[in-house]
A and B are shown apart, each in its own frame.
Chain A
Amino acid sequence: MKVIIKNWTGVATWKWIANDDNCGICRMPFDGCCPDCKLPGDDCPLVWGECSHCFHMHCIMKWLQSQQVNQQCPMCRQEWKFNNK
C-alpha cells in the first residue's frame, strides 16, 4: 500500500516570539492588537528595545511621544532604543 498525500492542510496559530504575553503598556496580549488597532499581526507589530522589553509598536510610540525629556522604557526606565535585530 502506498499513501500519497496530495494536500495536508493543517491548522496553526501564530505567536510573537517575545519574553512576555502581554504588552506592558496596554496590557493587551501581544497576539492581539493595541487598543487603537483592529487587526493583529502585520498591522499591529511589536518592537523590541535594547533593554529587551517589547511592546506594541503603536503603544510605545504613543508613550515616547508623550515623554518630553527623556525617552525611557516604561518598564526599566532605561533610555529607550529600538533594537534592530
Chain B
Amino acid sequence: MTAGNVCAFTIQQCNPSICQVRIDFLTLTLAQPNAHGSCIYDSMNIIGGATNIPPICGENSGLHLYVDFNGNSNIRIVISTSSDASVPKAWKLKIAQIACDCPTRAHMYEALARKRFYGLSPSGCLMHYTDLSGTVRSFNYGTTVSSYLLPNGQPGTRQLANTNYGICVEMVAGYCGIQWSQSSDIYSFTVSGDTSTAVGQGIIGTPASFASGADCTTDFIVVPNPLVNGVPTRTDRFCGNGLPTLTTYSKPFVLTTVTNGDELPDSGNRGFALSYTQLRCTNIIVVVNDPVSTDVLGRNEFYQVIDVIKKLNIMDTMPVSTDVLGRNEFYQVIDVIKKLNIMDTIHDLIIKNIEKYVCNTVVVECWMCIAGANSEAENFQNFHKAMVTLYNYYLLLSNIFNNLELLCVTLKYRSTTYYQNSTDALKVIFRSALLSQLPLDYKKSVRHFYEVGLKYEENRGRESLDELCSNCSSNNCICAQYFYEANSILLELGLLEPLASQILTTTIYDYIENHVETTCKDRFDASFLAPLQKWLEDVIIKWLRKIYTCDYSNKEINKFNKKLQNFMYEIYTKVRINQLFGIIIEYPDSISALQDLKTCLSKTDLRPYLTRKLQKSMETRLLHTGVSTPDILTAYVATIRSMRVLDPSGLLLGAITQPIHQYLRSRDDTVRCVVSSLTEEGPSDLADELIKGEALQTDENTPSDDEEINWENWLPDPVDADPNKPLAHNRRTSDIISMLVNVYGSRELFVNEYRTLLADRLLTSLTCDTEREIRYLELLKLRFGDAQLHYCEVMLKDIVDSKRITQNIKQDLSSSGESDIPISSMILSAQFWPAFKEEKCELHQSVDEQMKKYTACFETLKGNRTLYWKKHLGLVDLDIELPDRTMNLYSVTPIHATIILHFQDKSQWHLDELSKIMQVPPTVLRRKIGFWESQYLISQVSPDIFQLVEVSVKGNLNVPHEIIVEDESESAMASTQDQREEELQTFWSYVTGMLMNLDSLPLERIHQVLKMFAFQGPTTECSLQELKHFLDRKVREHQLVYSNGYYKLPKS
C-alpha cells in the first residue's frame, strides 16, 4: 500500500453467538500524534462496535484491545495514512472472535497458554490481562520522545488525546489485592505536567513529582481505594510524573486512564507502563506489620497503632496477658483508630489472626487429644480432655473478642465482610475450624464417649453410687461430672448438633437394640412392652433431657421421644419375629410374648417381614424330612393357635400356613396322624379341640348371624388383604380341625382313614373301650355329619353285638360240654368294614373244629346266616407249660398260635412240611417262627429244620443271631394303596372292551372314554397320571402292548 492511502478491514460475526473481538497488534507502527496528541497524520479507527475506541496512532506493537459487537453489525478497522512516506508504517493484526458464553477465567489459563483463543473481556475493559503479574501500557507509550516538537521547542507528547478506557487484570483465585508500580523506566509514568521540568529537577519517577486527587484535572489514572504503604490515600486519581507503589483490595482490579482533548500544555509526556502484581490474600498482615513509610501517618501515631494492635492481643503467638485495657489507654487507642480510620483493617486483622490461630493451634491440639486411644475408657477421658482444652481456648479468645466488640460498639463500627453477629463469630470460627479438620477416628471417640455416658446413666439407677465405676474403675467416680462438663461445652459451642447428634442417635439406637435383645432373650412368658417403655423413659429420655438441657424445647424432646419409641417397637418386634418359631412352639406358655407382638404389629409395618421370616424358619426348622409328621402337626396346631392371637383376621395365618399345607400334602401319613391325634390323647390336644368345636364348615359361604350382632366389634380387613378373596371365609376356617381337614380338602379321605384306623384298633385290641370310641364317633359326627360316619357306627355296633353273641354261643357250647378251646369271635358286617388284608392260613385242626362248632351255633342262633372266618386275624391268649416254667402269652396272633400248636403235636418240623399244612408261604412262615425263636421255644437245628426246645438252657443256648422278629404294628386292613388298586381293577374290563373294538388308543383318549362311562361318583375318579401308572403296570404284566404312544391288546 502506498503512503496516503486508506486501508479498511471489515470484521463480520462468524455466527450470532459471537460477542467480542480481540484485536492483537502484533505489529502496529504508525506516525506519532501531533503535539496536541491527536492522530492527524496516521490513524487507526475501529468503528461499528459497541465500544468507543479513540483513534490510535504511534507505536503500539504488542498491545491488544477488545471490541464488543453492536448487535450483528460489522466492525470496521480503518487505517488511514499520511503521504509522508519517511515515517515507517507497518501493521500486523491478529483478530479473534469470542463467543458470548466463552468463560472469562477458570480454564482459560490453559487455553491462553496455548494461545489458541481468548476469554471474554468484562465490559468496560478495553484491555484485559489474566496473568499474576505483568506490565500494562497506555497506547503509544514508548521509551523515546515524540519526534514532533512543541512550539517552544520542547519535545511533544506521545500520549494520545481524548481517551478514556479501562485496563483490567483478572483476579486469580487466592489473590485478594493488586499492587501497581512503575516499571524500570523512569519515564514510565509521565501522564501530565511538564516532564522536562521534572527531569530537570531530578524528581522524575519519584513520589515527589506525583500529584493526586483534585490536582489531577486533565490527564490521570484512577485506581480505586488504594493504599500507599498500607495507609489509605483518600484519593483514587493520580497524575504527574511519578507514581508511588499503589496497593488496592478493591475488586475488580481495574486501572482507568483518562486524557483530555488537548495535550499541548504538557510536554514530553509518554503515558505509562506500570508493573502489576497480584497479592496473596494473607499479605494484609504483612502490610500492616511491616510499615516502611510513616509519611502519611505521623511517626508517633504509627507506633501508637502498633501499640494498640499489640494490646489487642492479636499477634501470631498467643499472649500471656489477657487483661482488659485500662480505661485511659482504651480511650487513647480509640482516638488513634478514629483518627486513622483503620477500624476496618484492625477488625479484619484480628479476625483473620484468630481464625488462623484456631485453625493451626487450637483445633490441632484439641484433636491431638483424641488420637491414639484404644479402649472405651481411654476414649472417654480423651474426649473430655479435648473438650476442656477447646473450652479453655475459647474462653481465652473470647476475651479478645470482647475487647473487639467493645471497640466496635464504641466506634459504632459495623463489619460487613465477616460475621453478622459478633457474639456468634467466635463459635462459628471454632465450629468451622473443628469440622474442617475432623480426624478419621473422631466418630469412634465420640461414640465411646456417649456410650460410657449412657452406661453410667443406666447404672446410676441400679446400683448405689459408691460402687466401682466400670469405666474409671475408681471408687470416687467423676465420670458423670466429666460427661456433663464435656457435654455442656459441646452444647455451648453449638457443636452438639453438627459433631455429635448423628453419632448420639446411632449410639442410642444401638443401645436400645442391645437392651431389647438382652432383656427378652429366650423369655416368652412375660410381657416386656411396659418395662421397655419405662426403661426408655427412665433411662434414655431422661439422659437426653440432661444432654440437651435448655437447648431443646420440650417439644423437640417429645418428638425425639416418639421417634425412639417407634424405633424401640420396631426392634422389639424384630426380635420377637426372629424368635417367633420358638414362641409358637411354646404356645400357650408364650401367650404374653404373642400379645406383645400383636400390639407391636399394629404400631409398625412389619407384617410382611413377619410372614417372610416365619415362613423361612418354618422351612428350615420344620418342613424337612427329619421331622416326624406328628411333630409337624403339633407345630401346625400351635401355629394356628398363636396366629389366632396375633391376627384375628386370619390373614397372617393363611399366608404362613400355606407352605405347611403344601408340605403336609406331600406326606403319606398325614391323614393317619391327624386322625389318630384326633382320637387319642396326644400332645397336640386335638381331642379337646374336637370336643369343644362345632360343626365343620369346609365349603359353605353362608354368612353367620353373629357378625351382624357384633357389628360394634367389626374391624376393617388389614391393608395387605386381597380384596378379591373375602376374608369371612378365612376367619371361619381358622377352626383348627377344619384347617387340618382342609389340608387335603376332602372329608372322604379323612373319614376313610378314620375308618381304617378304627378297624385296626378294634381288631388288634380286644380290650378296646367301645364306650370311648362311641363318644368320639359322636363328636366326629357333629363335624363330619351322620352320613359320612355311618359305616363306623355299624362297625362299632358289630363289636358290641359280637360280644353278646359270643356270650350266647359260649353258654351253648359249654352246656354241650365240649369247650376244650374257648372260642370267641368278632362278627363283622363285611360291607361296612374296610377291605381286609387277605392272607391264606390254615389253623390247627383242633381250633378249626372248634370254629366249625361255633359257626354251627351261630347258624342256629341267626337263621339263614353263616360265618366266614378270617383265619389269620384274631388274638389268642395262651399258656405254655414247660417242664421248667410256664409262659403266659397274651394277644398272640392266630398264626403264631397255630405254629406252636403244631409243635405241640410234633417237636421237629421241616419248613416246607409245615408250610404245606398251614398253607402259608415258607418265607412268611420263617418270619413267624422267628417270634417263637425269640421266646427260646423253637430253634433252627439245621437249615429249614426247626426243633422245639423244651428245656431252655440259658447261656448255653445258641441263639441264632438273625432272629427275625416281625414288626408288630402290622395292620389288619389292606393299605389304601391296595384298595385303590382294587378300584382301578374295575376299569380294566372297560379298557379291554375299548381296545378290542378300537384296536389301539392313546392314553388321553382312554381317559376320556373312561370319564364318560366308567367314572361315576367322586371317589372313583382317576387322574391321568394314575391311569398311566395302572396301564403301564399292565404293560409290564404283558396284558397290554405300548408302542408309539398307543396302547393295544397283545395278539394272542
A residues contacting B by CB (< 8 A) are 1-18, 29, 31-32, 38-42, 46, 48
Contact = CB atoms under 8 A, between A and B. Distances in A.
Nearest to B904: A3
Nearest to A40: B829
Contacts of A13: 827-830, 833, 867-868, 870
28 contacts: A1-B904, A1-B948, A2-B881, A2-B904, A3-B879, A3-B881, A3-B901, A4-B880, A5-B897, A8-B823, A9-B874, A9-B875, A9-B876, A10-B869, A10-B894, A11-B763, A11-B828, A12-B868, A13-B867, A14-B862, A14-B866, A14-B867, A15-B867, A16-B865, A38-B790, A40-B832, A41-B801, A41-B865
A31 B831 contact: yes
A39 B792 CA distance: 11
Contacts of B707: none
B895 to A, nearest CB: 12
Contacts of B864: 16-18, 46, 48
A15 B881 CA distance: 38
A11 B865 contact: no
Given A7-B877, A32-B832, A15 B868 contact: yes
B822 interface: yes
Contacts of B945: none
Nearest to A2: B881
Q: Across the A-B interface, give the 5 residue pairs with the lowest CB-CB distance, nearest first.
A: A11-B873, A13-B830, A32-B831, A10-B874, A12-B867
B878 A4 contact: yes
B858 interface: yes
B839 to A, nearest CB: 12
A13 to B, nearest CB: 4
B793 interface: yes
B175 interface: no
Given A7-B877, A10-B873, A11-B826, A39 B794 contact: yes
> What is the interface residue range for chain B against chain A?
35 or more
A16 B859 CA distance: 10
A29 B832 CA distance: 11
A3 B900 CA distance: 8
A9 B826 contact: yes
B883 to A, nearest CB: 8
Dominant secondary structure of chain B at its interface with chain A: mixed
Contacts of A12: 825-828, 855, 867-870
A29 B828 CA distance: 15
B661 interface: no
Contacts of B879: 3-4, 6
A32 B858 CA distance: 19
- Determine which residue in A1, A31, A42, A46 has the highest number of CB atoms from chain B within 10 A of its CB, and name it: A1
Nearest to B793: A38
A10 B865 contact: no
A28 to B, nearest CB: 9
Given A3-B878, A9-B826, 10 more contacts: A2-B881, A8-B897, A9-B874, A10-B870, A14-B867, A17-B864, A31-B831, A40-B831, A40-B832, A48-B864
B865 A17 contact: yes
A12 B901 CA distance: 21
A8 to B, nearest CB: 5
Interface of B: 763, 766, 790, 793-794, 797, 801, 821-833, 847, 850-851, 854-855, 858, 862, 864-871, 873-882, 894, 897, 900-901, 903-904, 907, 937, 948, 950, 972
Nearest to B847: A8
Given A11-B870, A14-B865, A5 B829 contact: no
Contacts of B855: 12
Nearest to A11: B873
A38 to B, nearest CB: 6
Contact of B880 (A2, A32, A48): A2
A43 B948 CA distance: 50
Contacts of A11: 763, 825-826, 828, 869-870, 873-874, 972
A7 B831 contact: no
Contacts of A10: 823-826, 851, 854, 869-871, 873-874, 894
Contact of B824 (A1, A9, A39): A9
A1 B876 contact: no
A4 B904 CA distance: 10
Contacts of B903: 1
Contacts of B972: 11
Contacts of B901: 3
Nearest to A38: B790
A8 B880 contact: no
Contacts of A46: 864
A6 to B, nearest CB: 4
Nearest to B829: A40
A36 B881 CA distance: 54
Contacts of A14: 827-830, 858, 862, 865-868
Contacts of B763: 11
B948 A42 contact: no
A5 B867 contact: no
Given A10-B869, A32-B832, A1 B822 contact: no
A3 B862 CA distance: 33
